[in-house]
Amino acid sequence: MALGITYFCTTWEGKEDGDLLLDRMVFFQKVIQDDLRKQQRIGAIRNREIAYLHVMIKASNLSILNLDVDDYYIKKT
């Protein structure tokens, strides 16, 4: 969910580049939770997992940054 939030709930252009859109994030999380509740094997994300969501969002930001840096240096060589 964290990587999805980073990709779909963050602005990627203009002055606000990199800003997390909280209203979009709440909507995204609700849609994902509703869908997961319907799946018996996975189930909804639990409160304890949601409590660590902010840490996972930070990790997803670092992951995307790593991809960008790798891409930059691969193209440069």
Q: 16-44: per-residue pLDDT in tens? A: 888 899 999 999 999 999 999 998 888 88
HSE (CB half, 13 Å, CA atoms) of 65? Answer: 7
User: What is residue 10's three-state secondary structure?
Assistant: strand
Q: What is the pLDDT of residues 1-12, one digit of tens each?
A: 999 999 999 998
What is the total residue count of the chain? 77
Number of H helices, E strands in the chain: 4, 0
The number of folded domains in the chain is: 1
Residue span of the structural domain in which 43 resides = 2-76
On the question of pLDDT at 14 being above 90, the answer is: no
